[in-house]
Structure 1
Amino acid sequence: MSEVAELLAELTRRGVTLEPRGDDLAYHPRRRVSAELREQLRQHKTELLLLLRGEVTATEPALTSIANPAPARPPYSVVIAEPDPTTLDALLMSVLGQSPAPAEILLVGKPQRRLKKITEPIRRVPVRFVRSPLDARSEHLLLIDPNTLLTRDWCRSALDMLASPRIAATFSDHELLETGGRTQYPDRVTHEKLARSGLAAPTVMVQRSALVPLWHAGLTIPALLRDLSRSGWEVARHTTPILLRGDGEQQYFDRQQLEHEIVTLFVPLSGREHIWPQLRTFLEQQTWPHNQIRLVLCDTSRSTRFRKTVRTWLARCDYHDAHWFSLDVPTSGLADAPRDQQLLAVNEILCRIYNRMREHITTDFAWILEDDVIPPDDVLKRLLQAFDENVATVSAPYRSRFDGRYLIWSRERVAAPNGPACNGVHQLAPPLPDRPQVHDIRGSGFGCLVARAEVLRDHIFCLPPGHTHYDVRFFMELPQHWRRIVDWTCECRHLHNVARPQSKITTRHLIYHLTPFATNDIWLRNVRQLLKRITLFNGRRVIAVATGDDLVPPQEIRAAFGTHEVEILTRPNSRELRENATFLPLLECVADPDPKAATFYAHAKGVAKDVLCLGDPLGSRYWRNAMYHELLDDWERIAELLIDHAVVGTHRRQHSEQPRIYPDGQSESPWHFAGTFFWFRNRDAFATTKWQDVWQPTGWGAEAWPGRMFEFDQSACVAYDGLAECYDPESYDPQLEDD
């Protein structure tokens, strides 16, 4: 970067404006100019005055004789969209200092008085106010953002790149003025890369002949580059960087200017006339600009009356880019048939529907909406806001019409030997209100989903042997580098879905282990967390207290529970068995296969802080408080999961290939709830003596017990599923402190 460019960049960072006054150079506000900057202004005053007056013809002295003169570069026009009076003077100086100089400078917008005052001193280069970049007279147009500054020879480098007839536009890396550093963009970008990469190139030089067929009001630079690439043009990076004001840390939605995105909305219509009015109302009321929607309706109804109703509405609606086509299916009415009877037939038809959809996608994003799913009116914007360059799909949650469970899942169920390729999925429950509502998932139904068009085009919808669900297979086949997201704030109504069955559990037991080291108060902090929720437990409340030297006596533990009814069970402390020393005695206290009873097991976590701590004590604090919060603060959520699952916990980890994952190297199980907080149904635990048979007399035997007692597919995880860094404080949101 030249010294003058560096000086301009520093003045811009400080908000300093330069103004020529005869042979003097004025700057304000003066208090922002240090003594060092004043000296640099004095040294470069002549160059700056020439720039401000528009009298510079080159940044280097011209040679009087050149043996092999370089070919003359074509003229170019500079187009400044939405010029900002606070930055325009510095921007114009960086433009006027280019070699070759521009043929003209165009300001898009109304000729404001402040802007005219800044441009009036420029004499050598014509300056005009215009309504559109197409008013430029040169073949090459520099579309420049007000927040950038051109470095020396930027335009020369760009013109050299555009000498290739296949290149329609060229951009460059950015030197970030606010934060420092420099971007590292690829030399060539494809349409797919432009659609997902978040390439922030607000200043480009483009060929007019490539721009004219694509130009329309509101066209953004990211959209222009994607359209050029989609049309077969090359978009390339040249080597001279540009200076960018700001920190470059815009959200992906803003950086990609997705508010201007045109999205394909694909709706498969099953012909159910009783739900069409509600779908029609949603399509009329949804808030994404209707001129930015390419509406595609796939009609499988076979009903002449229904087809006429839909097409009449389509002719009158304000979706101007709207399409309807029919698709014959073998049997009508399958959408409402019991899925257990027509499962494969329905999914095979849906494969046909979505393969036809792939033929109709001409945009970078596709929004799939089933005809009986009604989302919030602003759902599309909210789903698009969850995208980044690594996200393939964002889903809005909804409940199944057939069992009332959310069609959002964390993983596929383990396939049985010689059985189907997929044995179902582990469906998720909504997070608590203070937890992140937008998070990663494994997959979802297609009821309301926004996907990148490229991942839909790359997938052929079909059901090979062993597969029964098109949506599960889609997410199984989606490459692992793609993220899949759900936004729980966008929950949809699924018309006529059945209500979830009510939980039959009416009795809730508590069994709890406590090792009260006298050297710290961690045991008491755990008890306080428990006391906040103690009334949840209307069955037995059994507290096993470890006794011995350096431990708080049991009577103090009892006193800590105040007037609440609890049973105290004492056992000598064992540093080898830890909480496992009391695990079987605690289970014995509630060993009744009552189908209306569930039991919560936990232990005072982190109490060995002064004796042995396997990780960050702060992370341990957030970990334990997260488990109390997730498992005890919304019983209805837990009760719903216990309808279908034998055991429910947090921090679930599956490790069948490494069963002795535990620190003692002896405890063994194919999976576990890290932290050992979990609920279980009594009828599943105590129907046989298995609960005693699988217990191991080892240090981590209690943590391993659920994974030995229950199959992985019998378990559910309400939060932090698969989390490997449990002791990392940054893993937790919210980070819950002790009371």
Structure 2
Amino acid sequence: MAKRANPRVSDGDATLDVTRADNAASAFAYGDTMQEVEYGEATRDVEYGEAMVGGTSLRAAQRVGTEQEGQEAAGARWYARPTLPHRVGVVIPTRNRPNWLPHMLGSLMMQTHRPERILVVDNGEDSAEEVVSRYPGVEYLRAEVGSGLSGNPARNVGMQAMADLPYLCFLDDDDMIPPDYLEVLLATIATDCRAAAAYPRLRFCGTQQGTWSVPYHPDLLGRSNLAGVPALIRTDALLQVGGWPVFAADPDGTIPHDDWALWRRFRDHGWRMIPAPVDYFYYRHDDGVCHSKARANHQSEWRRTIDPTNLVTLAIPWSGREHLIDAMLDAVARQSYPASQLHLLFYDNSGSEAVGKRLRRWLLEQDGYAGHSYHRDPRPAVAGLSASELADAPLDEGEQGRRRHGRAVNHRVGAIWNRIGQLARTDLVWCLEDDVIPPPDALDRLLDRMGPMVDGVTANYRSRVVPGCSVAWRYTNLETGDLVHLEGGTGLESIGGTGLGCALVRREVFRAGPARSGGEAVGYDCNLWLDVARRGGTVLIDWDLRCEHRIGHWKGEERVAALELPRGVV
């Protein structure tokens, strides 16, 4: 029998008692294990869990593009220098299914690059110690961590036990790897010292068959997952981001896709990932985590699959409408979306010191938000006129859709949103203009309607320049940028474009932009969404999510844009 490890290891234990199995019983033959699983050769898109990540990720990858060939070519050779010795530790979490372990342990015995350590972390009630004892040199650790919804607590135990090794590879107990698996991953990650992980192609077998292989692009991680757990990871990168994310279940018992969450945290810390030309045989069966009720559907419940950490920035350009500041700040404070998950970005172009002090004071008083920043840009669009006067300038008589100094305002506001798009550090930007007052559930509802293939979602608010219409339109000609404004509707509808008064927009929309204030379409926002439409993007409007558009404060007059549905719309 193997020596018993410390029978109880909790999340808070500082030290871990790990022992190697003494009994060097004959290992499960790799060839025999291969015969137990039928591997399909199909290459069609397959569902990852209940979500079409195969199709979703590939289509999204086509949208955001792959890293350009030859990027940083001049310095590439420096990044390709080996910086770490090829010493690898393998961590295999297992829970209540010891009969599956021979699949993975048998294939590890045949590796061309033998790992320095192999550790099985068992957090189940049905002990796997006897199975582990059959394999020479494999370590067994009993750890009472997690709730069974995810293997990440057990992976973190393994990370702590092997933190002295430069590379860690986290494998599942019910899968298999080819003999050159670790060798290829090591060769791949050695090509770029900036890579936190090298990840394989997933070849599905069992109840579902096919392959999943997605190129790396940082913007793609804001839409969909691109890799499974079994990646080779730099230990220093993993320690920098705090290990594998661990989530509490929501009221329905689901958690975000936690491998996806780790990849996003790598990206947000400046690391990148590299796909490797090697297969990982991912066995699909009814006991697998992807069939668990703890995983929400990636398409229909996208919000519940993505880690909310560093997901949304609320960006407000302040034009100096002092009479609306209190109403807007109150609307922000009343949002039902958790403040602890929301970043605030105030962009002050009012040119007013009083407005600036007011905004900075309010931000300093807020201690519940994930983060906040204040940016001052007092440059006027027109000399001699304040930003608030220009923002609320009345329509020129006889020229529907035009304002006094409209061209100057268009250039200035386009520049502001371009700058905000570069300043934002989250995947999504909730764009809110300082005269559009959202209801308390606005952000929650916008997020509920966001999906992996959606570029933007807007609320419904009435236009100040096109009477009787909402700030939404449909393009009639993508070549010329011709468009028609929409009067209204009900429910959720796909449109061509929208203003940025109350819209949840992917950051990549701005970074793939910019919003051109001079172009085919009539304004910066029309050109921004025109470019998205030309890329095959998707913009949605929730007609039933209505905001109050407070327009006009010229010479003391103020009015609120009507929110009633247009005549004939039910």
Please point out which of 545, 549, 562 is paired with 1:494. 549
RMSD: 3.7
Letter paired with 1:151 = I
Please point out which of 181, 189, 192 is paired with 2:216. 189
Please name the residue that 2:489 is paired with. Answer: 430
1:222 aligns with 2:260: yes
Q: Post-superposition shift, 1:439?
A: 3.4
Residue 149 of structure 1 aligns to a residue whose secondary structure is coil
Identity of matched residues, %: 24
Please name the residue that 2:43 is paired with. Answer: none
Counting only pairs closer than 5 Å after superposition, residues 160-171 of structure 1 correspond to structure 2 as 160-166=187-193, 167-171=195-199
1:126 aligns with 2:182: no
Counting only pairs closer than 5 Å after superposition, residues 139-150 of structure 1 correspond to structure 2 as 139-144=166-171, 149-150=175-176
CA 1:183–1:374: 2 relative to 1, 3 Å:
farther
Q: Structure 1, residues 190-223: CA drift from partner, whole Å, max 9, x if none?
A: 2233434542523322111232333367374324
CA 1:487–1:242: 2 relative to 1, 3 Å:
farther
Counting only pairs closer than 5 Å after superposition, residues 562-577 of structure 1 correspond to structure 2 as none
Please name the residue that 1:264 is paired with. Answer: 313
CA contact (8 A) 1:210 1:228 kept: yes
Q: Which moved more, 1:312-321 or 1:134-143?
A: 134-143
Please name the residue that 1:337 is paired with. Answer: 393
Alpha-carbon distance between aligned partners in 1 of 2:204 and 2:442, rounded to the nearest angstrom: 34
Please name the residue that 1:212 is paired with. Answer: 239
CA 1:145–1:121: 2 relative to 1, 3 Å:
closer
CA contact (8 A) 1:214 1:227 kept: yes
Q: Structure 1, residues 452-501: CA drift from partner, whole Å, max 9, x if none?
A: 22220122333227754221121223333222222334333334664559
Residue 173 of structure 1 aligns to a residue whose secondary structure is strand
1:371 aligns with 2:384: no
CA contact (8 A) 2:203 2:279 kept: no
Please point out which of 474, 478, 486 is paired with 1:410. 474
Please name the residue that 1:90 is paired with. Answer: 100
The answer for unaligned runs of 5 or more in structure 1 is: 11-71, 416-420, 432-436, 503-635, 641-717, 719-739
Please name the residue that 2:9 is paired with. Answer: none
CA contact (8 A) 1:77 1:141 kept: yes
Letter paired with 2:177 = T
Alpha-carbon distance between aligned partners in 2 of 1:375 and 1:382, rounded to the nearest angstrom: 11
Alpha-carbon distance between aligned partners in 2 of 1:149 and 1:414, rounded to the nearest angstrom: 48
Please name the residue that 1:541 is paired with. Answer: none
CA contact (8 A) 2:493 2:542 kept: yes
Counting only pairs closer than 5 Å after superposition, residues 136-535 of structure 1 correspond to structure 2 as 136-137=162-163, 138-144=165-171, 149-153=175-179, 154-166=181-193, 167-177=195-205, 179-186=207-214, 188-215=215-242, 218=245, 220-228=258-266, 231=270, 233-245=272-284, 246=290, 250-252=297-299, 253=302, 257-317=306-366, 318-328=368-378, 329=380, 330=382, 331-332=385-386, 333=388, 334-339=390-395, 340-342=402-404, 343-401=406-464, 403-412=467-476, 425-431=484-490, 437-464=491-518, 468-478=522-532, 479-495=534-550, 498=560, 500=562
Letter paired with 1:105 = L
Q: Post-superposition shift, 1:360?
A: 0.6
CA contact (8 A) 2:487 2:566 kept: no
CA 1:192–1:113: 2 relative to 1, 3 Å:
closer
Alpha-carbon distance between aligned partners in 1 of 2:203 and 2:508, rounded to the nearest angstrom: 31
Q: Structure 1, residues 125-157: CA drift from partner, whole Å, max 9, x if none?
A: 2334365564133222123467x6233434454
Q: Post-superposition shift, 1:91?
A: 4.7
Greater RCO, 1 or 2 (C-alpha within 8 Å, sep 6+): 2
Residue 472 of structure 1 aligns to a residue whose secondary structure is helix
Alpha-carbon distance between aligned partners in 2 of 1:217 and 1:282, rounded to the nearest angstrom: 35
Alpha-carbon distance between aligned partners in 2 of 1:309 and 1:6, rounded to the nearest angstrom: 71
CA contact (8 A) 1:198 1:256 kept: no
Alpha-carbon distance between aligned partners in 1 of 2:283 and 2:545, rounded to the nearest angstrom: 36
Q: Structure 1, residues 241-279: CA drift from partner, whole Å, max 9, x if none?
A: 231434799314269624345222211112223322232
Please name the residue that 1:69 is paired with. Answer: none
TM-score norm. by structure 2 comes to: 0.65
CA contact (8 A) 1:157 1:240 kept: no
1:77 aligns with 2:90: yes
Q: Post-superposition shift, 1:364?
A: 2.6
Q: Structure 1, residues 99-127: CA drift from partner, whole Å, max 9, x if none?
A: 335614264xxx85616x33476344233
Letter paired with 1:335 = A
Alpha-carbon distance between aligned partners in 2 of 1:443 and 1:6, rounded to the nearest angstrom: 54
Alpha-carbon distance between aligned partners in 2 of 1:271 and 1:92, rounded to the nearest angstrom: 67
Alpha-carbon distance between aligned partners in 2 of 1:192 and 1:466, rounded to the nearest angstrom: 27
CA 1:284–1:257: 2 relative to 1, 3 Å:
same
How many corresponding residue pairs?
Answer: 428
Alpha-carbon distance between aligned partners in 2 of 1:104 and 1:501, rounded to the nearest angstrom: 64
Residue 189 of structure 1 aligns to a residue whose secondary structure is coil
Letter paired with 2:298 = Q
CA contact (8 A) 1:102 1:125 kept: no
Alpha-carbon distance between aligned partners in 2 of 1:372 and 1:501, rounded to the nearest angstrom: 14
Alpha-carbon distance between aligned partners in 2 of 1:424 and 1:156, rounded to the nearest angstrom: 55
CA 1:163–1:278: 2 relative to 1, 3 Å:
same
Alpha-carbon distance between aligned partners in 1 of 2:340 and 2:265, rounded to the nearest angstrom: 17
Q: Post-superposition shift, 1:281?
A: 2.5
Alpha-carbon distance between aligned partners in 1 of 2:420 and 2:210, rounded to the nearest angstrom: 41
CA 1:501–1:185: 2 relative to 1, 3 Å:
closer
Letter paired with 1:150 = M
The answer for unaligned runs of 5 or more in structure 2 is: 1-29, 40-84, 144-153, 247-257, 285-289, 396-401, 552-558
Q: Post-superposition shift, 1:323?
A: 0.5
Q: Post-superposition shift, 1:296?
A: 0.9
Q: Structure 1, residues 672-724: CA drift from partner, whole Å, max 9, x if none?
A: xxxxxxxxxxxxxxxxxxxxxxxxxxxxxxxxxxxxxxxxxxxxxx9xxxxxx
Letter paired with 1:158 = L
Q: Structure 1, residues 498-553: CA drift from partner, whole Å, max 9, x if none?
A: 45599xxxxxxxxxxxxxxxxxxxxxxxxxxxxxxxxxxxxxxxxxxxxxxxxxxx
CA contact (8 A) 1:355 1:461 kept: yes
CA contact (8 A) 2:313 2:430 kept: yes
Question: Which is greater in Rg?
Answer: 1
Residue 473 of structure 2 aligns to a residue whose secondary structure is strand
Alpha-carbon distance between aligned partners in 1 of 2:139 and 2:392, rounded to the nearest angstrom: 69
Q: Post-superposition shift, 1:344?
A: 2.5
Q: Post-superposition shift, 1:282?
A: 2.9
Letter paired with 2:394 = P
Q: Which moved more, 1:437-446 or 1:87-96?
A: 87-96
CA contact (8 A) 1:365 1:451 kept: yes
Q: Post-superposition shift, 1:304?
A: 2.7
Please point out which of 105, 113, 128 is paired with 2:119. 105
Q: Structure 1, residues 279-323: CA drift from partner, whole Å, max 9, x if none?
A: 223322324443433321011223333222211110121224211
Alpha-carbon distance between aligned partners in 1 of 2:158 and 2:346, rounded to the nearest angstrom: 36
Please name the residue that 2:13 is paired with. Answer: none
Please name the residue that 2:80 is paired with. Answer: none
Letter paired with 1:480 = R
Q: Post-superposition shift, 1:378?
A: 4.3
Please name the residue that 1:639 is paired with. Answer: 568
